[in-house]
Amino acid sequence: MSLLLDHPEALHRLRKEIDNGVGHGRLLNDSDLARLPFLRCVVNETLRLYPPVPLLLPHCSSEDCIVVGYKIPKDTILLVNAWAMHRDPKVWDKPERFKPERFEAIEVEREGFKFVPFGTGRRACPGASMGLRTVSLALGALVQCFEWEKVVESDMNMNYNSKVTMQKATPLEAMCIRRQQAVCPLTTLNYHK
């Protein structure tokens, strides 16, 4: 949400896609995700910039090998820096910029080791698919049901306070207003103290 609030054109495009693909009569669901490619682009771009963890699980080389000109002896513990890979200017055009449309032309599954927010191969996160669906549904519902505005005019503080889990140092503060045309269960919840 922080990135979308800093990039209102992306938020507007996502809202339009959800309005056209799902409508206002019901809350979006799992079967709608295939018809919302820009939502997937937004989620992927967010994971590229802010992977769940900056360093993937350690690997151990099973034999001597050479990686980018470096000799790696057998049984060396290797750490993969997903944060650095996702921000490499040799791989990504303007890597520090939030640009969800960069994923429109990319089939993530065929990109190999370019985009690895959940790792890859046998050591990949087993919950990656569920996590992507859950985040996509939550973000989609928030955009479908509410109009969003920043509380302050300046850009969101995207600094993080943990080197391990990428937790934001400053929580998101935003104002949301129920969209009049949206019929969403999220807007009719009763909260009891």
pLDDT tens digit sequence for 28-48: 999 999 999 999 999 999 999
Task: Encode pLDDT of 67-106 as tens digits.
Answer: 889 999 999 998 889 999 999 999 899 999 999 999 987 7
Give the pLDDT of residue 32.
96
Whether the predicted pLDDT of 167 surpasses 80 = no
Tell me which of 151 and 45 has the higher pLDDT: 45
Longest dimension (CA), the chain: 63
Give the pLDDT of residue 107.
67
Assess contact for 58 and 51: CB atoms under 8 A.
no
Q: Tell the residue number behind the tokens 């996590």, with chain if given.
A: 131
Torsion region of 33: left, alpha or beta (phi above 0 gives left; psi -120 to 50 gives alpha): alpha
Residue 85's Cβ-side half-sphere holds a number of Cα atoms within 13 Å equal to 20
- Which stretch of 11-20, 63-72, 110-119, 126-135 has the lowest confidence by average pLDDT? 110-119
Q: Round to whole Å and give the CA distance between 147 and 5.
A: 11
Give the pLDDT of residue 134.
96
Write down the domain spans for the chain.
Answer: 2-51+85-118+127-188
Binding site residues for heme, as ranges?
125
Helix or strand run (H / E) with residue 12: helix 8-21
- Which stretch of 15-24, 134-143, 159-168 has the lowest confidence by average pLDDT? 159-168
The values of phi and psi at residue 175, to 5°, are -110, 135
CA distances to 31, 67, 89, 136, 139 from 49, in Å: 27, 24, 13, 16, 17
**Architecture of the structural domain at 2-51+85-118+127-188:** Orthogonal Bundle (1.10)
Q: Round to whole Å and give the CA distance between 158 and 4.
A: 12
Assess contact for 174 and 150: CB atoms under 8 A.
yes
Binding site residues, as ranges?
125
Give the pLDDT of residue 190.
47
pTM: 0.85
Q: Round to whole Å and give the CA distance between 113 and 118.
A: 11
Give the pLDDT of residue 133.
96
Q: What is the DSSP letter of 92?
A: S
